[in-house]
Amino acid sequence: MESSAWPSELFIFRGETPKAAQELMAKTRAVCAARNDEGKDSLKLRDLALSLLDAHKDTPVHFAIVADNLENLLASIDAALAGDENPNVYPRKPLEGKVVFLFPGQGSQRVNMAADLFTFFPKTRRLLNAHPEYEPVIFPAVATTREEKKEQRAAITDTRNAQPLLGMVDLAIAELLCDLGIKADMLAGHSFGELAALCFAGVLPADDLPSLSQQRAEAVLRAVDTDPGRMAAVRTDRETLTHLLKDESAVWAANFNAPTQTVIAGASAELKAFLTQLDAANISWSELNVACAFHSPLLTRAESLFAEVLQDKNLSEATLPVWSNTTASIYPSTPADIKKRLATHLVSPVRFVEEVEQMYAAGGRVFIETGPGSVLTGLVERILNGREALLIPTERATGNGLTYLLHALARYVSSGRELLFTRLFEGRD
């Protein structure tokens, strides 16, 4: 760890029964309150959190609390003992089922993504350290003008930067969660995120991800002819949109993201005309700021270009099942078939709704977004529509990133699963 002092700590309370865990909480509260009343500041939250790891070992965690100071911890314990709702308290609510890692794709990138995690967990910087040319793009100097901010956003939105950087961040967060004891049972990525998922599964060497991501981006951009095309997110049900698209020859459904959200792609003039049809039908839409019409026949040449890139790559058998956007089923197992699927993926629709439904049918219940933001967990929530599941984003743009991660870990633990808690204290004096 980079720093021994963290902005927040994760406290766990074990016991054979919930009552035993509450008794431990009451004892902890008494110690904290006594220290607080005496005005002593020698009690460090870090040390208290660590000492609780030894209490009632080998019994279930019944409560997890995230606190940033002593007063906050006392208030959270009071709420837990009273059975009151509190955003910092996570009581045990066991949930059977498999754990799914979701790797976000292009569109989730942003300047300074995962900055706090890269600071507090230096091992996450492994790939970035090996490719320092990307550091000024993801972590640029503080922008002082609107124009500078615009330039920084444009740099990280550039497909040639966005894909390698997203791959590094996706993989870094997934590896961090694995290091903390979270074991995935199945993997899925959205669009570009599928490549990161395959690397995490060992199909492709993780160290090759940045260069392979850039080659993938180049294949897409080289496939663009005179018209790069446009994309837009449409908010209506699939049946309605399919009916509207039936006579279109240059506008296609590209991403089936949620039951009432589909991204369309097409030639610029034709898509513009189609959007006027949506206006006439009172269907809302928003155009996407993208380099070209991804996952559409407009980029047909990208398939053969990326196939050439993959031709000499040595692929291994996946250590975990990776689900495919293209077929909404598990990836094939042979290297030749995997390469073919990866190339086809560039020009095929993303069938994310069907994919999530199939993963749920296969037992997926805990969906963890292993990358920046919460786009995918938000889509899964809409797809599952109230069915039993736990959705856990691990990174966000606002607030302290480490505290947000600790809340994610607390939510995971509350499902009845374990962590390697001692990993949170390694190198922290």
Rounded CA separation 301/49 (Å): 55
E strand intervals along 160-260: 186-189, 230-235, 251-258
The answer for residues whose C-beta is within 8 angstroms of residue 358's C-beta and 6 or more apart is 323, 328, 329
In three-state secondary structure terms, 359 is: helix
Question: Which residue in 264, 235, 240, 236 sits closest to 250, CA to CA?
Answer: 264
Angle at 272 between CA 220 and CA 252, to 5 degrees: 50
Beta bridge partners of 12: 64
The answer to whether 293 and 272 have CB atoms below 8 angstroms apart is no
Active site members: 191, 295
Rounded CA separation 156/167 (Å): 13
In this structure, what are the phi and psi dihedrals at residue 277, rounded to the nearest 5 degrees?
Answer: -65, -40
Provide the CA 407 distance to its chain's centre, in angstroms: 15
The answer to whether 21 and 13 have CB atoms below 8 angstroms apart is yes
